[in-house]
Chains A and B, each alone.
Chain A
């Protein structure tokens, strides 16, 4: 029976990422490469922050609860900042690569735009961070038990999956907005992205109130979705155009 939970959670957490991959990434080898490299950069940031975490844990006494809580907050902050630093590093790398790509292509233009790269890189970050936060939980969701014997919420699995979904999408949107900010030299954009990332990550400090952190995270996701839409060249005009085209098509048929 618990296979149902496994597949349910897997679909929730990775369904959208899978759909995006299939329809927007898989057909273009260059995008696949950028996606994988993005995931690699995120992994590098994880490696570094876990190193720091490891040292901090070894250096501190495990008995002091206050200190432990402080360390945890520090760890979360540090990890978020490190991720953003690596996102920036990846941006620099992609810019360089883009120039190279432009140089060797026939018409002196890169085969991929920076905005597209931003989206693909963001999705790479999102997929790998989602995978890392979800895989342990998924393997335990196979059962036979469910969370709750220590009084935790029984909706742990589904909320974790929904959270992973949000984080995957958020990373994609952040990627788009962040790169755009870098392109245009709008440092406040980068600041907002970092702050939102910090905010979302600090929601997890509210655990075990798993359900409680979902609405704010989804609010942020919605906001970021709109922002990313506009910063990647979408506009109300194009939206309305789409709608009218649609209605025109309907009328025509």
Chain B
């Protein structure tokens, strides 16, 4: 059923490769196909369409490189060859420029060169108030806090990602290809002393036609046009919970430790989200790593329930689904089992920064909740004071920053804290943009290290490098807060906490490397099942960082980031068993094992000394995946205001190519010559054939005479 979808969704780079091979030789003389292009695609929600698209046969325009203000003027008003295809460095990719282009009919499309060096001071194409309408603050819940009226969380946000562009916008990787484009521009389109360039001109064509229009309500009504954004949440608990029984669990009280899994940028499937998302993921994973052994020795009073919510960028898809399922008793626990929530937000701590504990002022009006929150905050503070990290509370009347916790508060008052590196508005200058990368978190490596050496680099460099200080503080901050949280403030814990710091630091380095620099490393491949980590087609490991855009999961496959988190969690909170591969698939047959309590995974294992292949084993863990598809599509209520309604349009071709266009004069000349030739030959042939008898007088006599 899904095979056509697979065909439709070929990654752009693969697509262009294919076309390279198949083009005719004439086509190869005319066109240069561009590889490594990423389009901006159309997304839709209950009321709007956002993103970009081209016409169905692609949009073509004369190439113009935007380098100065004068170029913009040339493109938008004075240039004689509209429409223009604008090629620009990322520095020009700003809202004012883009909006001027959007309002002009002289722009056919835009290609942005995405270089690795960050040239802009700050850039966030996201909204200034993320997830404004689906958070907890509304008319009936802290109306004075709704719509970010008290705190604008992302003041740098210019909402460009939420504009609807009628022309295609592509992101190009900066490489030889952009050099070729520049050369084509310089050879053919450059103005000489301000006069218009002569034909033939260099032009570009972009294909990114989107099938869906208007909004989710419209596109879901028409089949095969758009698909809801969806993937999976990852959850795990310190003490196993029977997953086959849904609904309320007696004698179970859990503390939810949460982080979000996804991010986005202006372009499709680019979402580096280093500080925005990865800092939280990595911190929570490291905390789980450090906490699990401790809790096995001294079981905490309450169970710790780790969750990683997917799709939070798009109106809290993952958390709203989990809360919905809890409410419907379709999840392993329900809301009454939730004692409190501790969420890790953006924690890209740099030297000298504080960690802030955000709480919800509205639910704290309830005295029991307030008491718990104060208790919580005090615990965290008291442990933090013994360590080298400063923790503080912002003004208690301030609203919660955008966080999954808000979705829990929407249903019932639950005590909770959101940890973040910002007091009020975000410190992150590149929130949900393609600049929020490892480089922004000061993760730099000496150039002479091999990937494997890089992975373990930070531990050795912890004395000197700033980047190493970052995970150090991360770990301390969250580890202490978590351990204090379970209500065991004994000495032994603090000691184990400090002791666990050095392995955690090592762990942090590996985590950051895998999630931000290169997922194809020996550690990740040892944690994954052999088929997913193997070198080959089914491998989900890449030579770059994984992308954090949620995307769609039509064929029930799991996004690579989700898999990584799942198996790193399995490693952190699982135990190695002696089951063989077949038993691992059917552990219920083995006494003492239960598929209800645990999930079992056959993983590659670390490579041994004498072979590069790992020694696979079966790991038993409480880690599970839970569907992260917005309840709006489950109900279904495509116009829902309560739940996320984001869908992604389908498309057929994503392509970009450059070529020359001939002058209209030459084209008309060709046509003129053609028509003349046709008319002359018609007249001449008619004339000759009517006079053939006369001209070839011997025609009929010859055959017989020649024998």
Residues A241 and B694 in contact, CB atoms below 8 Å apart: yes
Q: Is A161 an interface residue (CB 8 A)?
A: yes
Instruction: Determine the distance from Cα of A1 to Cα of B663 in the docked complex, in whole angstroms.
Output: 10
Q: Is B395 an interface residue (CB 8 A)?
A: no
Given A19-B682, A113-B703, the answer on whether A149 and B674 have CB atoms closer than 8 Å is no
Instruction: Determine the distance from Cα of A209 to Cα of B281 in the docked complex, in whole angstroms.
Output: 62
Instruction: Determine the distance from Cα of A114 to Cα of B699 in the docked complex, in whole angstroms.
Output: 9
| Interface membership of chain B positions 538-563, coded 1 if the CB is closer than 8 angstroms to chain A and 0 otherwise | 00000000000000000000000000
Instruction: Determine the distance from Cα of A150 to Cα of B200 in the docked complex, in whole angstroms.
Output: 12
| Interface membership of chain B positions 20-64, coded 1 if the CB is closer than 8 angstroms to chain A and 0 otherwise | 000011110111100000000000000000000000000010000
Q: Is A11 an interface residue (CB 8 A)?
A: yes
Residues A140 and B30 in contact, CB atoms below 8 Å apart: yes
Residues B699 and A7 in contact, CB atoms below 8 Å apart: no
Q: Is B450 an interface residue (CB 8 A)?
A: no
Give B188 Cβ to nearest chain A Cβ, in Å: 9
The segment from B75-83, B288-296, B685-693 that touches chain A is B685-693
The segment from B209-217, B507-515, B654-662 that touches chain A is B654-662
Given A1-B667, A19-B681, A233-B698, the answer on whether A115 and B703 have CB atoms closer than 8 Å is yes
Instruction: Determine the distance from Cα of A63 to Cα of B184 in the docked complex, in whole angstroms.
Output: 28
- Checking A7, A233, A245 against B671 with a beta-carbon cut-off of 8 angstroms, the contacting residue is A7
Chain B residue at minimum C-beta to C-beta distance from A15:
B678
- Checking B659, B669, B684 against A145 with a beta-carbon cut-off of 8 angstroms, the contacting residue is B659
Given A145-B203, A147-B30, the answer on whether A161 and B674 have CB atoms closer than 8 Å is yes
Residues A146 and B661 in contact, CB atoms below 8 Å apart: yes
Instruction: Determine the distance from Cα of A140 to Cα of B23 in the docked complex, in whole angstroms.
Output: 10
Residues of chain B lying within 8 A (CB to CB) of residue A154: 200, 660, 662, 666
Looking at chain A's contact residues, the main secondary structure is helix
- Checking B29, B682, B695, B696 against A156 with a beta-carbon cut-off of 8 angstroms, the contacting residue is B29
- Checking A10, A22, A145 against B674 with a beta-carbon cut-off of 8 angstroms, the contacting residue is A10
Residues A184 and B706 in contact, CB atoms below 8 Å apart: yes
How many residues belonging to A are interface residues under a CB distance threshold of 8 Å? 55
Given A4-B671, A23-B686, the answer on whether A145 and B24 have CB atoms closer than 8 Å is no
Q: In chain A between 104 and 152, which residues have their CB closer than 8 angstroms to a CB of chain B?
A: 109-110, 113-116, 136-137, 139-140, 143-150, 152
Q: Is B677 an interface residue (CB 8 A)?
A: yes
Given A140-B24, A146-B30, A150-B29, the answer on whether A158 and B659 have CB atoms closer than 8 Å is no
| Interface membership of chain A positions 227-253, coded 1 if the CB is closer than 8 angstroms to chain B and 0 otherwise | 000001111001101100100000000
Q: Is A157 an interface residue (CB 8 A)?
A: yes
Chain B residue at minimum C-beta to C-beta distance from A154:
B200
| Interface membership of chain A positions 153-175, coded 1 if the CB is closer than 8 angstroms to chain B and 0 otherwise | 01111100100010000000000
Q: Is B670 an interface residue (CB 8 A)?
A: yes
Residues B697 and A146 in contact, CB atoms below 8 Å apart: no
Instruction: Determine the distance from Cα of A232 to Cα of B697 in the docked complex, in whole angstroms.
Output: 10
Q: Is A200 an interface residue (CB 8 A)?
A: no
Residues A109 and B704 in contact, CB atoms below 8 Å apart: yes
Residues of chain B lying within 8 A (CB to CB) of residue A145: 30-31, 203, 205, 657, 659-661
Residues A149 and B698 in contact, CB atoms below 8 Å apart: no
Given A10-B674, A16-B677, A149-B184, the answer on whether A232 and B696 have CB atoms closer than 8 Å is yes
- Checking A115, A165, A242 against B695 with a beta-carbon cut-off of 8 angstroms, the contacting residue is A242
Residues A233 and B697 in contact, CB atoms below 8 Å apart: yes
Residues of chain B lying within 8 A (CB to CB) of residue A150: 29
Give A143 Cβ to nearest chain B Cβ, in Å: 8
Instruction: Determine the distance from Cα of A9 to Cα of B662 in the docked complex, in whole angstroms.
Output: 14
CB within 8 Å: A-B pair count = 158
Chain A residue at minimum C-beta to C-beta distance from B672:
A8
- Checking B26, B31, B686 against A149 with a beta-carbon cut-off of 8 angstroms, the contacting residue is B31
Q: Is A20 an interface residue (CB 8 A)?
A: yes
- Checking A2, A12, A238 against B673 with a beta-carbon cut-off of 8 angstroms, the contacting residue is A12
Residues of chain B lying within 8 A (CB to CB) of residue A7: 671, 674
Q: Is B702 an interface residue (CB 8 A)?
A: yes
Instruction: Determine the distance from Cα of A233 to Cα of B695 in the docked complex, in whole angstroms.
Output: 8
Residues A144 and B686 in contact, CB atoms below 8 Å apart: no
Residues B685 and A23 in contact, CB atoms below 8 Å apart: yes
Residues A11 and B29 in contact, CB atoms below 8 Å apart: no
Residues of chain B lying within 8 A (CB to CB) of residue A113: 699-700, 702-703
Residues A238 and B681 in contact, CB atoms below 8 Å apart: no
Instruction: Determine the distance from Cα of A235 to Cα of B695 in the docked complex, in whole angstroms.
Output: 8
Q: Is B590 an interface residue (CB 8 A)?
A: no
Residues B677 and A15 in contact, CB atoms below 8 Å apart: yes
Instruction: Determine the distance from Cα of A232 to Cα of B696 in the docked complex, in whole angstroms.
Output: 7
Instruction: Determine the distance from Cα of A176 to Cα of B13 in the docked complex, in whole angstroms.
Output: 54
Residues of chain A lying within 8 A (CB to CB) of residue B702: 113-115, 233
How many residues belonging to B are interface residues under a CB distance threshold of 8 Å? 51
Residues B667 and A5 in contact, CB atoms below 8 Å apart: yes
Residues A146 and B677 in contact, CB atoms below 8 Å apart: no
Residues A16 and B661 in contact, CB atoms below 8 Å apart: no
Q: Is A24 an interface residue (CB 8 A)?
A: yes
Given A5-B670, A149-B31, A156-B29, the answer on whether A15 and B695 have CB atoms closer than 8 Å is no
Residues of chain B lying within 8 A (CB to CB) of residue A161: 670, 674
Chain A residue at minimum C-beta to C-beta distance from B202:
A149
Residues A152 and B674 in contact, CB atoms below 8 Å apart: no
Given A16-B677, A146-B661, A184-B706, the answer on whether A238 and B696 have CB atoms closer than 8 Å is yes
Residues of chain B lying within 8 A (CB to CB) of residue A5: 662, 667, 670-671
Q: In chain A between 60 and 98, which residues have their CB closer than 8 angstroms to a CB of chain B?
A: none
Given A16-B681, A109-B704, A149-B30, the answer on whether A9 and B674 have CB atoms closer than 8 Å is yes
Q: Is A18 an interface residue (CB 8 A)?
A: yes
Give B663 Cβ to nearest chain A Cβ, in Å: 8
Instruction: Determine the distance from Cα of A108 to Cα of B533 in the docked complex, in whole angstroms.
Output: 83
Residues of chain A lying within 8 A (CB to CB) of residue B671: 4-5, 7-8, 11
Residues A24 and B685 in contact, CB atoms below 8 Å apart: yes
Instruction: Determine the distance from Cα of A154 to Cα of B704 in the docked complex, in whole angstroms.
Output: 52
Residues of chain B lying within 8 A (CB to CB) of residue A149: 29-32, 184, 202, 658-660
Residues of chain A lying within 8 A (CB to CB) of residue B26: 136-137, 140, 147
Residues of chain A lying within 8 A (CB to CB) of residue B682: 15, 19, 22-23
Instruction: Determine the distance from Cα of A115 to Cα of B696 in the docked complex, in whole angstroms.
Output: 10
Give A176 Cβ to nearest chain B Cβ, in Å: 11
Residues A1 and B664 in contact, CB atoms below 8 Å apart: yes
Instruction: Determine the distance from Cα of A19 to Cα of B659 in the docked complex, in whole angstroms.
Output: 35
Q: Is B668 an interface residue (CB 8 A)?
A: yes
Q: Is B245 an interface residue (CB 8 A)?
A: no
Residues of chain A lying within 8 A (CB to CB) of residue B24: 136, 139-140
Instruction: Determine the distance from Cα of A97 to Cα of B27 in the docked complex, in whole angstroms.
Output: 43
Chain A residue at minimum C-beta to C-beta distance from B697:
A238
Residues B660 and A12 in contact, CB atoms below 8 Å apart: no
Give A157 Cβ to nearest chain B Cβ, in Å: 7
Q: Is B196 an interface residue (CB 8 A)?
A: no
Residues A19 and B31 in contact, CB atoms below 8 Å apart: no
Residues B689 and A24 in contact, CB atoms below 8 Å apart: yes
Instruction: Determine the distance from Cα of A242 to Cα of B671 in the docked complex, in whole angstroms.
Output: 33
Q: Is B17 an interface residue (CB 8 A)?
A: no
- Checking B203, B673, B697, B703 against A110 with a beta-carbon cut-off of 8 angstroms, the contacting residue is B703
Indicate the member of B24, B27, B666, B691 with the most A CB atoms within 10 Å.
B666
Residues B694 and A238 in contact, CB atoms below 8 Å apart: yes
Residues A234 and B660 in contact, CB atoms below 8 Å apart: no
Residues of chain B lying within 8 A (CB to CB) of residue A1: 664, 667
Since A9-B670, A113-B699, A158-B670 are in contact, a sample of 9 more A-B pairs with Cβ atoms closer than 8 Å, ordered by chain A residue number, is A1-B664, A5-B662, A19-B685, A22-B682, A114-B706, A148-B200, A154-B666, A239-B695, A241-B694
- Can you show 16 pairs from A to B with CB atoms below 8 A apart? A4-B668, A4-B671, A5-B670, A9-B674, A15-B677, A22-B685, A23-B682, A110-B703, A136-B25, A140-B26, A144-B661, A149-B658, A158-B673, A161-B674, A234-B696, A238-B696
In the A-B complex, the 5 residue pairs with the closest CB atoms: A145-B659, A11-B674, A8-B670, A15-B678, A8-B674
